[in-house]
Amino acid sequence: MSSASSSSTKLPLLALTAQAALCYQDIHTSMAVEPQELRRVMGHFATGVTVITTVDPDGNPNGLTANAFLSLSLNPPLVLISVDKSATCYACFGLENGFTVNFLSEHQEEISRRFATKGADKFADLNWRSGTNGAAVIEGVLGYVECKIRECHDGGDHTIIIGEIVNVEATGERPLLFFKGKYQKLPT
């Protein structure tokens, strides 16, 4: 009797699962969004601006501008960043490495632009110090979070990186913001 009742409960569940899979497929194939439109719409979400720094295998500093950053967990203390697979310093984000998320102050737009430019000497004439994880802490930032890389996950054209926080500091300056494709500042 138990095998009969278990098989009868499995059939509706299997039918429901197949129906859900078809529904999922219909939704996801009919809702294709062009990358330019997605970028435009996502630009309506205001973010802070960060420079994420790391080091290459020879210990040279590297980094990139990013707004794909979030606090993931307080216990354990974790953050999440998203790194474009075509970024020049992408190979520096391996599990054996660390990174620092530098929160840019409103007067650091030039630094953001520099780290967003491929091929630029990003650290030329930049005031910075090596943090506890070896990655650069940029002078004058609003704050920073130093991490060791805990996990990496595929995320389409990006890799999602989870960092375990090893050190933090914040100063209370005013943040640099990004909204609708432009740098912004908080009203005074």
Look at the pTM and tell me if it is higher than 0.85. Answer: no
For 101-118, the pLDDT digits (tens) are 999 999 999 999 999 998
Helix (H) or strand (E) holding 149: strand 143-155
The per-residue b/e assignment along 99-137, b for 16 or more CB within 10 angstroms, e otherwise, is: bbbbbbbbebbebbebbeeeeeebbeebebeebebbbbb
Instruction: Please count the structural domains in the chain.
Output: 2
DSSP summary character for residue 92: G
188 lies in some domain: no
What number of other Cβ atoms are within 10 A of residue 145's Cβ? 24
22 and 92: one domain? no
In this structure, the answer to whether residues 52 and 123 fall within a common structural domain is yes
Same structural domain, 92 and 42 = yes
Phi-psi region of 66 (alpha: psi -120 to 50; beta: other; left: phi over 0): beta
77 vs 184, more confident: 77
